[in-house]
Amino acid sequence: MDTLRPSVKMLMALFASLFVLLMASPALAQTTGQLRGTVLDEFDFGVPNVEVRLKGSTLIGGEQARKTDDNGNFQFVELPPGKYDLTINIPSYAPVTYKDIQVAIGRTATQTVKLQPSTAEETIEVEGERQVVDVEDVGRGQVLTKEFLQRIPTGRSYQSAVQMANGVVGGANPNMGGAAFNENTYMLDGANITDPVTGTFSVNFNYDAIQQIEVMLGGFMPEYGQSLGGIINIVTDSGSNNLEFDTSVFYTNGNWRYHKDARYTADGFQLQPTDFDSNFQMLQIAGKVSGPIVRDRAWFIVSYQHSRTLIANIGIPLPRDFDGHYVMGKITVQPNSEHRFTSFLQLNPTSIDNTRQADIFVKPEAQARQYQGGFVSQFRWQWFLGSKANLDTQVVVQKTFIEVGSVPCTHNTNLGYNPCRPGQREGFEDWDTPGRQGIFGAFDSVNLGQFYFDNRMRYQASSKLSILSVEDPLGGSHDIKVGVEGIQTVWDQLQGRSGNLLYADINAVGWDPLSFTNWYRWELTGPINFRTTGSQWNAFIQDAWKPIPNLVIKGGIRYDNSIMRNDIGEPVFAQSLWGPRLYASWDPFGDQRTKIAGGYGRFNDAGRLAVAGFTSKSSIGAKLWLGEFQDGDFASNQNSMYIYQPRENPAIAHHTLRAPRSDEFNLIMSREIMKDIGIEIQSTYKMTRFIFEYDERNLIYDEDGSSVIGSRFGDNLVSNPRMRTPELARRNYVQIDNTFYKIFSRRWFASATYTYSISMGTSTQALSGSFANSPQVQYNYGPMLQTDVRHMVKAFASWQIPTDPWNQTIGFTFEYYYGNPLERFYPGDEPPPGNSWNMRIRPRGPYTRFPDEWAVGFKFTQDFDVRKGKIQLDLQLLNAFNNRAPANFLGAFYTENRLFATQRQDPLRIQLGARYLF
Amino acid sequence: MRRSLSLALLAPLALSACGFNEGLIIEDMKIRILVPREAATRVMPNGEEVTDVRLIGPVYFGFYADVRDDIFGYGHPSIGPVFNNQVGGDAYPYGGSSLGDIRYPCLEFLVCKVVSGRYVDFDEMVEWFGEYYEDPIVDSRDNEVTTGEYIRQTCFERMRVTGDDEIRLTVYEDRNEDGKLDHLDLDFVENADGDFEAEAMVWQQEFVEGFQLWGWMDSPGQVTGRFNTCNSAEGFLDQEYDNNFRGGRPHRDLLNFPSRYIRNTDWVASEGKEFQNWDDEVVLVLDHEVNQ
């Protein structure tokens, strides 16, 4: 291949790209960073044509070398994130090595090499430049490095770690960049692993195998798309030339904490619901082995994590039993300097028993098991076409599944789980016996009575060609990237009721189980099985143009094409979308210490299978028969049948559905105010339009939306929803982050950010039913969105105490959130009770806000060096002061004029861990 | 030159697709309703002839394909097939709303007898039934209610609210912005001709060119003041101590089967008002008293 001319190679690369385009679809996220620098002599002139060598523990293929150009500049690209040593050794100058230069995902590290005349042969070791301001980065967001993940107190999951990023609000599926929780994109080693149906995360992952997490909130280039919110880009470890072993155990027990606000009656009922407060245990066992198969040529990593959590709501006798196994394997092979191959497999089978924790009226045999998991498999080929061009191609297959059914029975009576009846084998799951559903204080009994099997597949292939440092005859250079990607998604669902029957029972005398009697019975038409599919392809071209040394202009455009089809193959949603982006970053003083950056970008939501699923024709039909409570006789004749529900889904989609989109304007100003310390102001204004919504197309309401007074399509009084993307379904969002930070040096790092945000609009989230209550409910123009936090503070710090040879590390976090707004709701008259709400036309606006929420985290790690490797003990306190601000409220709040908390912020969690590494 | 060209190429892309029309005209349609003075005038059970907005019951209006006067002897939307000789077929409205809502009135005595937007305060309810109907309001123990404040406090207690704006039976906002809450802030306000006019809104109405606005007013019963369009067997369930009653709510098919509910002394629009554009300024006149 070395004999081929570069132009021929480039041609071959283009053909390879086209081949991949024909094959399939997208996963174009960056998983690497780059290093640029200049070699200067003692007079600060650039030194041309000298060799610069780079090595790092995460860099497979061995040491890399580059020659400086005429101005003394050099560049290393496609570097796996990690720490690197840069060495230059030329006659008449002292050999020098710059140590521990941090390269992060999607970032450009810089290093200026200053040569000093000397005849000495001993290499001078200098600490590498730690970049306080990345003057070429135009995006909003941050990179969470391995040091961060290990030293800062967070839950041991990527979902928890991401919470510490600026402007991120919410739980495991957070609100990012002013968007809803289901408008983010999740990437794992360059593969899009966002749930193809819901738009949420789909994979639980081995925490210790994470190398870095890039949290992007805005300003991302066209290579990223299909996200109106943020992007969580996870890059995993790949191993190294050293055989490394890492095993750990972490445990926490809810009883270790004090129960700050739980109050009980004499019979054990809780007076003030305090969410998960009574029973919580978590055990995590993890192991990781990595190392060389062939030094510098082939590396492997195998990682396993077992997560077991028992967690029960107050008063619920059975804990929700989460039992997850996360297995990851990855092989990276670089046979020569031109080709790198990576093969990756992740599995995460998980069973969750006793998932029904909402109230105590569920007998063990009516509990549910959710079995979930799937796999992500990836094959990736990186072809380095010389030092200035490369082709990155990958094929990814992902499966996510959820299976919900009755919890398997057990003969082990100690646990109190669903007991097996005599003769039943251990683990028997009953799919035939109809369940009995208790209403108004009666117990759910006999069996869960329903099942649901859900498979979600994503097939994707992508290819990206990068051509770097292309000289512009008019000045400067270009970094050009072109990519193409294809995705096929499939959603299979099977749902039904055990025995095709469902009984609804009631206590004829309130709270007296002895008066238990049947209220009604549903006869169902039987299980349904249907498939929804989506096809997408996209392409992008982007350029980073550096016309002068202190200015970078980044621009490009992305094209997304998507079709979502419902279960009978109708195209529900078909789009061709253009997403232009244009940004610039200016270093006004040219000293790499100041940045003024900003620009505009359009981001499109190319849709998801939930959109097509909404209009799928399949639905379970049913007949309702009145039961003993109402003197029904279950006689199968027309006269005693109370309601007939046809086997069809009345939902439709408006024929001009279009893709939701965001137009975003960013402005970023950063400055290194003293060595290793910087300040940064990031601001964004984002307009999101055409959010997926649905309205009712048949019901006509009275003046204030309380009561139905007519129907548009005959006298059918069951709401027939219609999905739309009206211009009115929108959000406007402003976020300003003010950050004061110190990067990691001299054993410590710290950051504090105050965020001010306003979110105004009509739609809190995509695919919401917020328009479905009644047309009389005016669109919500108030500050009502979950991202309307207004004031938020996030701070963290870590210090490695200098007590060599034993290291002690302390970490600290502080989070503060101003309360979310709440508007007052009132019950409507539509049956069943509590099923309809109206916000009434007046008064509008926030009635109140959630109480402010704040939490402090603390972490202490003690290292002990042993003969081989080291042992690490770990103590972590999350929410150390056990604050329990309400996080959600009972609907009754809206009618009873008081806050009635049903969920509170996570309580104090004390976690102990032990770890052994060599 | 080349730099300028590349920027010039990007600019139109950045500006593209700034406008989009879903092709579905869904608008908040504002209309005016005129009720003639005669419709708000009546000889009350106490023998006194009064003209009062409290005699204007809930007004229901909708958008229909057309309006004819040869079906029931008064203006009425065209109807679908007649399956039952006693009632007409479905009128298939495109949409609609009401002006003045029947809603939970806090005392069983008042169920189906009061409508929103007609009373300045609760004292007017006490006066209306006590003096004009000579049928004083009583509470759950059959004790006569003599003050509006009693009704108000009962509402606060039962509905667990703290403001008149949440009960929404009486005036709670200064609509004409004159600094006081009075009769000029009710739904219907007397105009210079002595008729009563009101402004109404149909929220998020899907517009169909040529559809016609039609409506009718449910007049209160001569003796009790009850409204015929109210279903006292449904609505908010008040179930506390010695109270156990439904608060009443409108029937669910008022706009589909108007003729089921229109009775003598109700007032209807004798003709529909056609819309060519969603923002046409249309006044619906309830000009015909049903008397069959």
Closest by Cβ to A582, choosing from B14, B90, B99: B14
Tell me what the mean pLDDT of segment A539-548 comes to: 95
Q: Residue B103 domain-assigned?
A: yes
Tell me what the mean pLDDT of segment A679-703 comes to: 89
pLDDT at site A761:
79
- Check CB contact of A575 with chain B, cutoff 8 Å: no
CATH value of A244-917 in 3.40.50.150, 2.40.170.20, 2.40.30.10, 2.60.40.1180: 2.40.170.20
**Cβ atoms A475, A548 nearer than 8 A:** yes
- CB-CB neighbours of B63 under 10 Å: 28
Q: How far is B161 from chain A (nearest CA, A)?
A: 6
Amino acid identity of residue A478, one-letter, is H
Q: Given pLDDT bands bounded at 50, 70 and 90, which one contains residue A716?
A: low
Which has the minimum average pLDDT: A358-367, A415-424, A755-764, B274-283? A755-764
Q: Given pLDDT bands bounded at 50, 70 and 90, which one contains residue B14?
A: very low
All structural domains of chain A with their residue ranges: 31-127, 244-917
> What is the tens place of the pLDDT at every residue in A371-398?
999 999 999 999 999 888 999 999 999 9
Q: Residue B3 domain-assigned?
A: no
For residue A506, what are its two tokens? 């009631």
Q: Which residues of chain A have a CB within 8 Å of the CB of B28?
A: 778
Put simply, the answer to whether A707 touches B249 (Cβ < 8 Å) is: yes
Does the structure show a pLDDT above 80 at A120?
no
pLDDT at site A703:
86
What residues are paired with B138 via a beta bridge? Answer: B144
For residue B81, whether the previous peptide bond is cis, meaning omega lies within 30 degrees of 0, is no
| Largest separation between any pair of C-alpha atoms in chain A | 106
DSSP-based three-state secondary structure for A310: strand
Tell me what the mean pLDDT of segment B263-278 comes to: 96
Tell me yes or no: is domain A31-127 CATH 1.10.150.20.
no
Q: Which 638-657 residues of chain A touch chain B by CB within 8 A?
A: 654, 656
- CB-CB neighbours of B97 under 10 Å: 29
- Domain extent, residue B254, equals 24-289
Q: Which residues of chain B have a CB within 8 Å of the CB of A656?
A: 22-24
Q: Which residues of chain B have a CB within 8 Å of the CB of A661?
A: 17
Put simply, the answer to whether B93 touches A776 (Cβ < 8 Å) is: no
pLDDT at site B203:
83
**Cβ atoms A77, A390 nearer than 8 A:** yes
Q: Residue B172 domain-assigned?
A: yes
- Check CB contact of A28 with chain B, cutoff 8 Å: no
Q: Which residues of chain B have a CB within 8 Å of the CB of A689?
A: 20
Does the structure show a pLDDT above 60 at A276?
no
Mean pLDDT of chain A: 85
Mean pLDDT of chain B: 88
pLDDT at site A502:
92
Q: Given pLDDT bands bounded at 50, 70 and 90, which one contains residue A639?
A: low
Tell me what the mean pLDDT of segment A692-710 comes to: 83
DSSP-based three-state secondary structure for A146: helix
> What is the tens place of the pLDDT at every residue in A794-837?
999 999 987 766 789 999 999 999 887 776 666 666 544 444 55
Between strands A721-724 and A652-653, the pairing is parallel
Put simply, the answer to whether A842 touches B165 (Cβ < 8 Å) is: yes
**Cβ atoms A270, A315 nearer than 8 A:** yes
Among B93, B96, B32, B30, smallest CA distance to B64 is for: B93
Task: Report the C-alpha gap between A141 and A668 in whole angstroms.
Answer: 11
Which has the minimum average pLDDT: A100-114, A397-411, B206-220? A100-114
| Continuous H helices in A527-646 | 609-614
Closest by Cβ to A700, choosing from B17, B20, B96: B96
Higher-scoring residue by pLDDT: B235, A599: A599
Between strands A191-192 and A210-218, the pairing is unpaired
Task: Report the C-alpha gap between A536 and A488 in whole angstroms.
Answer: 6
Put simply, the answer to whether B96 touches A778 (Cβ < 8 Å) is: no
Put simply, the answer to whether A474 touches B165 (Cβ < 8 Å) is: no
Write out the E strands in A473-591: 477-497, 501-507, 516-524, 528-548, 551-565, 571-586
Task: Report the C-alpha gap between A104 and A31 in whole angstroms.
Answer: 9
Size of interface A-B (CB pairs under 8 A): 140
- Check CB contact of A843 with chain B, cutoff 8 Å: yes
pLDDT at site A656:
81
pLDDT at site A631:
74
DSSP 8-state code for residue A820:
P
Between strands A389-406 and A450-471, the pairing is antiparallel
Does the structure show a pLDDT above 50 at B13?
no
What region, left, alpha or beta, does residue A112 occupy, with left being phi > 0 and alpha being psi -120 to 50 degrees? Answer: beta
Does the structure show a pLDDT above 70 at A210?
yes
Does the structure show a pLDDT above 70 at B3?
no
> What is the tens place of the pLDDT at every residue in A839-890?
444 455 556 777 889 999 999 999 988 888 899 999 999 999 988 887 776 5
Task: Report the C-alpha gap between B130 and A390 in whole angstroms.
Answer: 90
Number of H helices, E strands in chain B: 4, 18
Tell me what the mean pLDDT of segment A93-116 comes to: 88
pLDDT at site A905:
82
Q: Residue B1 domain-assigned?
A: no
Using CB atoms within 10 A of its CB, is residue A35 exposed (0-12), middle (13-18) or buried (19+)?
buried
Higher-scoring residue by pLDDT: A206, A13: A206
Q: Given pLDDT bands bounded at 50, 70 and 90, which one contains residue B107?
A: very high
% of chain A with per-residue pLDDT over 70 = 86
Q: Residue B18 domain-assigned?
A: no
Question: How far is CA A529 from each of CA A401, A454, A652, B186, rounded to the nearest angstrom?
Answer: 15, 10, 19, 55
> What is the tens place of the pLDDT at every residue in A144-193?
988 899 999 988 899 999 998 888 988 888 989 888 888 999 999 988 99
Does the structure show a pLDDT above 80 at A248?
yes
- Check CB contact of A726 with chain B, cutoff 8 Å: yes
DSSP-based three-state secondary structure for A892: helix
Does the structure show a pLDDT above 90 at A360?
no
How many CA atoms lie within 13 Å of A487's alpha carbon, on the beta-carbon side?
Answer: 32
Q: How far is A888 from chain B (nearest CA, A)?
A: 20
Q: Which residues of chain B have a CB within 8 Å of the CB of A895?
A: 159-160
pLDDT at site A766:
65
pLDDT at site A314:
67
Closest by Cβ to A710, choosing from B96, B205, B234: B96
Does the structure show a pLDDT above 70 at A267?
no
Put simply, the answer to whether A726 touches B235 (Cβ < 8 Å) is: no
% of chain A with per-residue pLDDT over 90 = 52
pLDDT at site A440:
76
B182-212 in b/e form (b: 16+ CB < 10 A) is eeebbbbebeeeebbbbebbbbbbbbeeebb
- Check CB contact of A829 with chain B, cutoff 8 Å: yes
Higher-scoring residue by pLDDT: A449, B16: A449
pLDDT at site B83:
64
> What is the tens place of the pLDDT at every residue in B196-222?
999 999 988 889 999 999 999 999 999
- Which of A217-221, A263-267, A760-764, A897-901 is predicted most confidently? A217-221
Tell me what the mean pLDDT of segment A355-367 comes to: 89
Does the structure show a pLDDT above 70 at A1?
no
Q: How far is B45 from chain A (nearest CA, A)?
A: 30
Closest by Cβ to A706, choosing from B62, B103, B251: B103
Closest by Cβ to B203, choosing from A474, A557, A776: A776
> What is the tens place of the pLDDT at every residue in B30-65?
999 999 999 999 999 999 999 999 999 999 999 999
pLDDT at site A567:
94
Q: Residue B16 domain-assigned?
A: no
Does the structure show a pLDDT above 80 at A429?
yes
The number of domains in chain B is 1
